[in-house]
Chains A and B, each alone.
Chain A
Amino acid sequence: MAHQTQLRNAGATALQIVASWALPIGIVVEWEIASRSGVISTRLLPAPSAVAAAFWENLRNGTLLTHAAISTERALKGLAIGGGIGFILGVLAGISRPAETVFDSSMQMLRNVPHLAMIPLVILWFGIGEEAKIFLVAVGTAFPIYLNTFHGIRTVDVRLIEMARVYGLGPLALFWRVILPGALPSILVGLRFSLGIMWLTLIVAETISASSGIGYMTMNAREFLQTDIVVLGIIVYALLGKLADALTRLIETRALAWHPAYQPAATREAVP
C-alpha cells in the first residue's frame, strides 16, 4: 500500500519534470526546424545548433571563459563595494535612531534614481575604464541590501532582545547572536535582489563601453553579424545569473538551517 503510494509519487514527480521541460524543449526544436527550412533568416536569428557550435568553439579556444571571468570579476567587485556599503549603512540605521535620521531619507531619495541614468555622468567621471562599470554595479546593488538590512534589523523580535538583555548579553553579543541572525533572512532576500541588478547593470555597462567581457564579446560580434555569438552571450548571462541565484540558495539553506521553512519535511512533521 505504502509502496504503491511511493511509486505513484515518484511517477508524479517524473511527470512534473517532463512537463516543466516540455515547453522550452519544444520551442528549441521548432526554432531549429524553422531555421533549417529558411523561415527564420540566420542573419537575424541563428539556429540553436549554430549557437551550440559557437559555444563549443569559444569554449575550446578559451575566449568564452576569459570574457566570462572578466565579467564575473567586475560584477563581484561592484557587489562587494556596493553591498558592503549598503550593509553597513543598513546596520547603522537599523540599530541607531540618530543614524537613521541622518541616512535614511537620503537613501530613500537616492534609491528612486534609476542608476543607469547616471551612465553619461559616470563616463565623464571615470572614462570608460573598469572603475565606471564597478561604480555602476556598486550603486545598483547598494540599495536592495541597505533596505533589507535596515528592515530586517527593525523587525527582529523585541521580546528576544529583551530576553537577551535580562540574560546579560552586552551590545556586541546582542548584535552577533540576536540582531544579525534575526535580520539574516531579510538580508539574504536583499542579496538576491542585488544579484539580479548586478548582472543587469553589468550587461548595460559592458555593452556601452568595454574592451573585454561578455558584453564586449556580443557587441563585437554584432559588428560582424555573428548572431550566433550574440545569442551565446545572452545565454551565458542567463547561466551566470542562474549560478549566482543557486549560490544564494545554498547560502540560505546553510545559514537559515534553523528556520522551519528550510528544514527537511521529516523533522518538521515530527513536531507534536
Chain B
Amino acid sequence: MRDAASALRLHEGAVFQETDTAPHDATTLREVVPRKQEARTANGKAVQLNGLSKSFGNRRVLSKLDLAIPAGQLLAIVGRSGCGKSTLLRLIAGLDQPSAGTISIGDARVQSLQSNVRLLFQDARLLPWHRVLGNVGIARANGWRESAMAALADVGLADRANDWPAVLSGGQSQRVALARALVSRPGVLLLDEPFGALDALTRMEMHRLLERIWREHGFTTVLITHDVAEAVALADRVIVIRDGAIALDIPVDLPRPRREAADTSAVALQARILEEV
C-alpha cells in the first residue's frame, strides 16, 4: 500500500519538476529526477519510541515520550528552544543514551550510533581540509567516489566536487552536507534545524530540494524546526513538544508539491500549531 502511494507521489513529482521548476534549481532538478526514479528502493525505516525519558542532572528534558513514526513519513517536530527537541534527535541518532525507555529503528533497538541513521546538523560541519567530494564520501566505503559524485549530482553541486568547503556559500554547504547524508542511503534522516541559518530564498530552495529527495529516496525523516511555516510546508505530520512531552500531534494532509503558505488550510494549520507552541 505504502509503495503504491509513494509511486503515485513520485509520478506527481516528475510532473512538477517539468512544469514548475524554480529558476535557481531549474537545471539540476530536471536532469536528476528521471534517472533516480528506477533506482528508488523504498528503504525507509519505522521509528518507535517507548516511554523515552532524558534528564541532565536534576533537569528533566524529556519525560515518558511515546511516539511511532511509520516508515517513510516526514515528521516535523516543533517547539521553543530548550523544549527538548534537539535532545530527542540526539537520542534517536544514538549520540546520547536515554535515561529511561527504548528506541527502535526498523526491528532493531538503538544502543549506539546507527549506520542507517544520518543526522544533518544546523551548521554543515564539513571538514575544511577535504575537498567537497572527499567530504561527501567521508566514510570512504568501497566505490565512494562514484557514490559521492552521484549524491553531489543529486543536490545539484556536481561541478563543485573539487572545491574547498571554505569557498562555498551557506546554502551550498548545507547541500553538500545533505549529499554526505545521502551517500549511504540511510533509512532514517534526522534534520536538526538545518535551514535555520539560511536566508529566506535559499531556505525555500532547500525545502524544494529536500522534498524532492525525500520523495525519491523514501527515507523516514524527522525535521526539527522552530519555524511553523517550514513544518507545514514540508511535513506529513507535525508534533509540538512542550515541557518534554508531546502537546500536539497533527497530520498535515495537504497535496504535494506544496508552496509556502499557499492556501488557507495551510495557514489555518499553522495557526493551530502556533497556539500549542
A contacts, CB < 8 Å to B? 159-160, 162-169, 173, 177-178, 181-182, 184, 256-260, 263, 267-268, 270-272
* Candidate in B118, B121, B131, B138 with the most chain A CB atoms within 10 angstroms: B138
Flag whether B93 is at the interface (Cβ < 8 A). Answer: yes
Check B51 for interface membership: any CB of A closer than 8 A: no
Tell me the minimal C-beta distance from A180 to chain B in angstroms: 9
Interface of A is mostly: helix
Binding site for A on B (CB under 8 A): 93, 95, 113, 115, 118-119, 121, 123, 125, 127-131, 138-140, 164-167, 169, 180, 184
Chain B interface mostly helix, strand, loop or mixed?
Answer: loop
Once the chains bind, are A181 and B139 in contact (CB under 8 Å)? no
Known A-B contacts: A168-B113, A263-B164. Give 8 more (CB < 8 A).
A163-B125, A166-B119, A167-B118, A167-B138, A167-B180, A168-B184, A258-B131, A271-B166
Interchain CB contact under 8 A, B123 and A159: yes
CA distance A182 to B125 in the complex (A): 13
Contact B169 A272 (CB under 8 A): yes
- A147 and B121 CA atoms in complex are apart in Å by 32
Question: Cβ of B184: which chain A residues have Cβ within 8 Å of it?
Answer: 168
Contact (A258, B121) CB under 8 Å given A167-B138, A263-B164? no
Q: Are B118 and A164 in contact (CB under 8 A)?
A: no
Smallest CB gap from B177: residue in A: A163
Alpha-carbon distance A271/B173, docked complex (angstroms): 12
Chain B neighbourhood of A263, CB < 8 A: 164, 166-167
How far, in whole Å, are A185 and B4 apart by their CA atoms in the complex? 54
Q: Which residues of B contact A178 (CB under 8 A)?
A: 127
Q: Is the CB of B138 within 8 A of A164?
A: yes
- A166 near B123 with CB under 8 A, answer no
Distance (whole angstroms) from the CB of A272 to the closest CB of chain B: 5
